[in-house]
């Protein structure tokens, strides 16, 4: 699908979608609980559908409603026989959360996916499985595991995806005895692990943590424990709100509702980043209003908020001065190489993105209409970040592969239109 963007005047209020990060965690906890849980404020993105399909193979029963899902967890009934591959689509969270959990079945399990998912690094699990004498095989076609993880003391590097830590945390309460997980410094993306622990605690599981003087953290998970059913609503997503927020400070007059001001989401830092660059943000009747601001260059650290990378690259190309983004290396191993993707596409609009290792610099200036279509690189955040860049610059552009937004925010273009964006969606030739 092509998204054809026209110069538009934007304004109004939009409600952000539910947090994909929080929804993944709630669905998995509910699937492991004994009893029935109701999770409100669900959006059926491709990633969430992947997790729902996977937990059904774990033995959970799932009833989908329009904006809610009812899940009867497997509880103490035990795991069923898994007879077919677990398809994770392009969802790194689904895959990495569920590898340790499915290992508890002690069955030979094969995971498959789409896009670049099976090429994304899994070395943390490979080393752990090998250390315990378990099978772990990975190729571009899939991942096969065989053998049940054992409790005990685990040590993980902190500069890898937090999804590995979360996956082990989800499985640990269901083991035979206590497990400790020590995360070594530097500990990046810790806020995502905090989200995992908050979800587990909401579903009745005890996890304690102790910070070490060197910056590491030790988690202690008593076992065996049971997940308990819970009714809850998923909070709004700060990572998706970032696209609206950046548009707001560049164009003005955009309000965003549905966000929890006390959220533990690491991407909540978008508010601090925008304020640091001169963004005007006010709380008006429970919504955040982003007013047009004279945006200046900033120095941004992505270590704890990598999902904000693409839209912040767009922002840097439209701020006055030279913006620096540090610790951006993890962007290379997402649905696309997000550094190369943004550099390539923004260059078509006159954007200047320079790369030095894991540090990016953007020299702000006016963007022009691209002479050729932009590519979404099969990456939802690239499509949305390019949409923000074109609309904020007030230039027409065509984005190929715009359907990628279904991965995380199926209604993205509907929301953009509700704010006044003139966007045509047509099938690609």
Q: How confident is the model at residue 356 (pLDDT cuts 50, 70, 90)?
A: very high
Dist CA 289 CA 256 (whole Å): 6
Dist CA 347 CA 343 (whole Å): 6
Q: How confident is the model at residue 185 (pLDDT cuts 50, 70, 90)?
A: very high
Q: How confident is the model at residue 78 (pLDDT cuts 50, 70, 90)?
A: confident
295 three-state secondary structure = coil
User: Catalytic residue numbers?
Assistant: 307
Q: How confident is the model at residue 4 (pLDDT cuts 50, 70, 90)?
A: very high
- Give the Cβ contact number of residue 48 at 10 Å: 23
What pLDDT, on a 0 to 100 scale, did the predictor assign at position 75? 81
Average pLDDT over residues 355-364: 96
Dist CA 199 CA 270 (whole Å): 22
What region, left, alpha or beta, does residue 258 occupy, with left being phi > 0 and alpha being psi -120 to 50 degrees? left
The token pair that represents 225 in the structure block? 């424990």
0.85 surpassed by pTM: yes
Residue 76 has pLDDT above 90, yes or no: no
Residues 125-184: pLDDT tens digits?
999 999 999 999 999 999 999 999 999 999 999 999 999 999 999 999 999 999 999 999
The token pair that represents 223 in the structure block? 């076992």
CA nearest to 47, candidates 382, 414, 406:
406
Average pLDDT over residues 398-418: 96
Q: What domains sit in the chain, N to C, each tagged with a CATH number?
A: 2-16+236-426 (3.65.10.10), 20-233 (3.65.10.10)
Output the average pLDDT for the chain.
95
Q: How confident is the model at residue 360 (pLDDT cuts 50, 70, 90)?
A: very high
Residues 6+ positions from 285 with CB-CB distance below 8 Å = none
Residues 134-143: pLDDT tens digits?
999 999 999 9
Residues 49-66: pLDDT tens digits?
999 999 999 999 999 999
What pLDDT, on a 0 to 100 scale, did the predictor assign at position 388? 98
Measured between alpha carbons, how far apart are the two ends of the chain, in Å? 9
Residue 77 has pLDDT above 90, yes or no: no
Alpha helices (H) along 172-288: 190-202, 238-251, 270-276
Residue 47 has pLDDT above 90, yes or no: yes
Task: Say if residues 315 and 340 touch (Cβ distance below 8 Å).
Answer: no
Dist CA 295 CA 20 (whole Å): 29
What region, left, alpha or beta, does residue 396 occupy, with left being phi > 0 and alpha being psi -120 to 50 degrees? beta
Q: How confident is the model at residue 259 (pLDDT cuts 50, 70, 90)?
A: very high
């Amino acid at each position: 699908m092509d998204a054809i963007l026209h110069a538009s005047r934007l304004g109004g209020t939009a409600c952000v979608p539910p947090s994909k990060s929080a929804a993944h965690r709630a669905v998995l906890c509910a699937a492991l609980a004994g009893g029935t849980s109701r999770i409100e404020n669900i959006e059926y993105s491709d990633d969430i559908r992947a997790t729902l399909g996977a937990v059904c193979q774990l033995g959970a029963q799932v009833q989908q409603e329009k904006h809610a899902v009812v899940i009867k967890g497997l509880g103490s009934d035990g795991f069923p026989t898994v007879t077919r591959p677990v398809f994770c689509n392009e969802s790194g969270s689904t895959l990495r959360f569920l590898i340790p959990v499915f290992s508890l079945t002690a069955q030979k399990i094969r995971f498959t996916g789409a896009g670049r998912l099976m090429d994304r690094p899994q070395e943390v699990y490979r080393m752990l499985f090998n250390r315990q004498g378990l099978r772990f095989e990975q190729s571009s076609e899939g991942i096969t595991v065989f053998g049940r993880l054992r409790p005990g003391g685990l040590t993980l590097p902190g500069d890898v995806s937090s999804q590995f830590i979360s996956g082990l945390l989800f499985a640990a309460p269901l083991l035979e005895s206590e497990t400790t997980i020590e995360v070594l410094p530097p500990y990046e993306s810790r806020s995502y692990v905090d989200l995992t622990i908050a979800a587990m605690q909401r579903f009745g599981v005890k996890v304690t943590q102790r910070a070490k003087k060197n910056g590491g953290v030790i988690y202690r998970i008593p076992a065996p424990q049971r997940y308990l059913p819970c009714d809850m609503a998923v909070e709004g997503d700060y990572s998706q709100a970032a696209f609206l927020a950046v548009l707001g400070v560049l164009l003005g007059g955009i309000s965003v509702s549905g966000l929890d001001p006390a959220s533990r989401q690491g991407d909540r830092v978008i508010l601090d980043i925008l304020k640091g660059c001169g963004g005007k943000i006010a709380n008006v009747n429970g919504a955040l209003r982003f007013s047009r601001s004279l945006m200046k260059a900033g120095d941004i650290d992505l270590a704890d908020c990598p999902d904000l990378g693409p839209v912040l690259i767009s922002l840097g190309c439209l701020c006055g001065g030279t913006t620096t983004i540090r610790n951006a290396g993890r962007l290379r191993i997402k649905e696309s190489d997000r550094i190369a993707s943004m550099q390539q596409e923004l260059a078509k609009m006159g954007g200047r993105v320079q790369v030095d290792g894991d540090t990016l610099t953007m020299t702000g200036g006016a963007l022009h209409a691209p002479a050729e279509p932009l590519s979404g690189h099969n990456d939802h955040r690239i499509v949305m970040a390019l949409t923000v860049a074109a609309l904020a610059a007030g230039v027409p552009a065509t984005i190929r592969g715009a359907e990628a937004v279904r991965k995380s925010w199926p209604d993205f273009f509907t929301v953009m239109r509700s704010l006044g964006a003139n966007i045509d969606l047509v099938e690609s030739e």
